[in-house]
């Protein structure tokens, strides 16, 4: 199933129950959420879209590989029930040895990824180390299916006239599965959305945005200078809001936000606003 929802002139939303090919990015294996389309061009690039759950089990990260979509109304006020199946884990594939299965290597990789997110001064050196190791060993990122499936239910209520997506994510069953953190991603393409601003007065461009920094302002936006589009989120009770942008060759091309929360809160509810700029 593929759903296309017109917003403003030349701008629409798209969600499908098959992963959308994003020009060979590793994340083309992941199930996407809602993506922006501008003049028939998809703006997601490597980004996973709006309202996509990602789970953490300690340092291990679990991604969605499938989705079931049930639309229950029509525009201008459309509701879509989406059940994500999270069943993919990031793996390294070597052109010499195939899939790398070393538990020690992945433990180190996940630890370094956590340091990369939390320790801003280390990001430059860690990127250099990562790129060097990838070239030396011929590593590429892939996603492999896990032995279990985890279901996460999400309701999208879309007001196409106002450009608002209301997102409700049910995390009430995740604690029983040993999940330690849930993150709801709201991403589009890093090549398109290259500006960040928030209600505290911050205005950042390109690499100034950082890769995973907490938002302390009440409201924050990503802006596409070329398309004159913006998407905006607010901080919400019970979750921390993070921003990020990465643009690395053919491997990374995303800009967006993530709501991070403990599954014990049950569910989170938020609104994302899409605007055409003058």
Asked if 12 and 4 touch (Cβ cutoff 8 Å), the reply is yes
Rounded to 5 degrees, φ, ψ at 18 are -125, 140
2-90+147-276: CATH architecture: Distorted Sandwich (2.70)
Instruction: Spell out where 95-234 has E strands.
Output: 98-99, 139-159, 164-170, 181-189, 195-198, 203-205, 213-214, 219-224, 229-234
Q: What CA–CA distance (Å, rounded) separates 85 from 177?
A: 14
pTM > 0.75: yes or no:
yes
| Per-position pLDDT tens, the chain of length 278 | 899 999 988 999 999 987 655 567 878 889 999 999 999 999 999 999 999 999 998 878 899 999 999 998 777 889 999 999 999 988 767 665 566 566 666 666 666 666 666 666 656 665 665 656 555 555 567 788 888 899 999 999 999 999 999 999 998 888 777 899 999 999 999 999 999 999 999 999 998 998 889 999 999 999 999 999 999 999 999 999 999 999 887 778 999 999 999 988 889 999 999 999 98
Rounded to 5 degrees, φ, ψ at 166 are -95, 125
Gyration radius of the chain's alpha carbons? 18
Provide the residue ranges of all domains of the chain, joining segments of one domain with +. Answer: 2-90+147-276
In angstroms, how far is the first alpha carbon of the chain from the final one?
Answer: 34
Rounded to 5 degrees, φ, ψ at 113 are -65, -40
DSSP state of 121: G
The candidate with the shortest Cα–Cα distance to 59, out of 92, 94, 123, 103, is: 103
Q: Which residues fall within 8 angstroms of residue 243, CB to CB, at 6 or more apart?
A: 196, 209, 210, 212, 213, 214, 215, 220, 222, 256, 257
């Amino acid at each position: 199933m593929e759903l296309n929802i017109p917003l403003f002139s030349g701008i629409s939303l798209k969600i499908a129950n098959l992963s959308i090919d994003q020009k060979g990015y590793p994340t083309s294996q992941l199930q996407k959420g809602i993506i922006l389309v501008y003049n028939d061009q998809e703006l997601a690039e490597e980004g996973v879209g709006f309202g996509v759950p990602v789970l953490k089990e300690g340092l291990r990260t679990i991604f969605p590989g499938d989705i079931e979509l049930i639309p229950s109304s029509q525009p201008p006020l459309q509701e879509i029930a989406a059940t994500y199946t999270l069943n993919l884990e990031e793996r390294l594939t070597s052109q010499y040895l195939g899939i790398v299965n070393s538990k020690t290597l992945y433990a180190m990789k996940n630890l370094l990824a956590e340091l990369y997110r939390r320790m801003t001064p280390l990001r430059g050196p860690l990127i250099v180390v990562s790129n060097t190791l990838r070239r030396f060993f011929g590593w590429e990122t892939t996603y492999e299916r896990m032995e279990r499936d985890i279901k996460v239910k999400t309701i999208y209520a879309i007001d196409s006239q106002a450009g608002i997506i209301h997102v409700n994510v049910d995390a009430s069953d995740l604690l029983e599965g040993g999940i330690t953190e849930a993150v709801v991603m709201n991403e589009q393409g890093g090549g398109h959305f290259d500006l960040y601003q928030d209600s505290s007065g911050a205005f950042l461009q390109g690499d100034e945005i950082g890769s995973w920094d907490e938002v302390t302002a009440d409201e924050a936006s990503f802006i596409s200078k070329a398309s004159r589009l913006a998407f905006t989120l607010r901080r919400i009770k019970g979750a921390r809001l993070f921003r990020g942008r990465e643009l690395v060759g053919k491997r990374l091309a995303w800009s967006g936000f993530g709501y991070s929360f403990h599954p014990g809160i049950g569910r989170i509810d938020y609104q994302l606003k899409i605007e055409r700029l003058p």
